[in-house]
Amino acid sequence: MKTISEARVVDAMHNFASSLRQLWEKQGEEHRQRLKAEYLSKYFQRRLGTLHMEQGKLEREQDDTSNKTGGSIVPSESGVSPLDDLKVDPDTMKKELEEEKARHNEALILVQNATSSSLQAGLIPIFEALSNFTSETVKAYEHGRIRNAS
């Protein structure tokens, strides 16, 4: 019985536990990416609403100014219409939101792939090691029993 080693079983279980720990870390990263994407989405929606209100206000002011002066939209100090200034910010925010959603989707795919492969890849070696350990233990028991019976 002393020659039977449970080391292979312990190693297989340790490797599986390490695999699960890595999976847990990937799930944490996916969770952080999801929260960040959700936050950016909500922020984008709030900011877009604010920009639409500001745009409406500027358009009314421009209409009032053009009615009084008989001219067209007055450019800002940079030479760009204030309405054009408002268009840049939503586009940038939308691009950032799309990039964050893409990063989240990549993290989600990694977690799903790791989950499906880690259970199968981790449990098979454990059961093989347990099977070998059990087989060796039964052989040693039978060998010891036969020697004692003689």
Task: State pLDDT tens for residues 41-74.
Answer: 888 888 888 877 887 887 787 777 766 665 554 4
pTM of the complete model beyond 0.75: no
Looking at residues 20-37, what average pLDDT do you find? 87
Looking at residues 93-119, what average pLDDT do you find? 82
Arithmetic mean of pLDDT over the chain: 79
Query: For residue 134, what pLDDT is reported?
Result: 92
Q: pLDDT category, 1, cuts 50, 70, 90?
A: low
Q: pLDDT category, 117, cuts 50, 70, 90?
A: confident
- What is the spatial distance between Cα 30 and Cα 9, in angstroms, rounded to a whole number? 31
Looking at residues 18-41, what average pLDDT do you find? 87
- Using the predicted structure, report yes or no on whether residue 81 has a pLDDT greater than 70: no
What percentage of the chain reaches a pLDDT higher than 90? 11
Query: For residue 129, what pLDDT is reported?
Result: 92
Q: pLDDT category, 77, cuts 50, 70, 90?
A: low
- What is the spatial distance between Cα 29 and Cα 97, in angstroms, rounded to a whole number? 17
- Using the predicted structure, report yes or no on whether residue 96 has a pLDDT greater than 90: no
72 or 39, greater pLDDT: 39
Find out whether 119 and 17 touch, Cβ atoms under 8 Å.
no
Looking at residues 27-51, what average pLDDT do you find? 86
- φ, ψ for residue 77 (rounded to 5)? -60, -30
Q: Which of 22, 25, 30, 33 is nearest to 117 (CA)?
A: 22
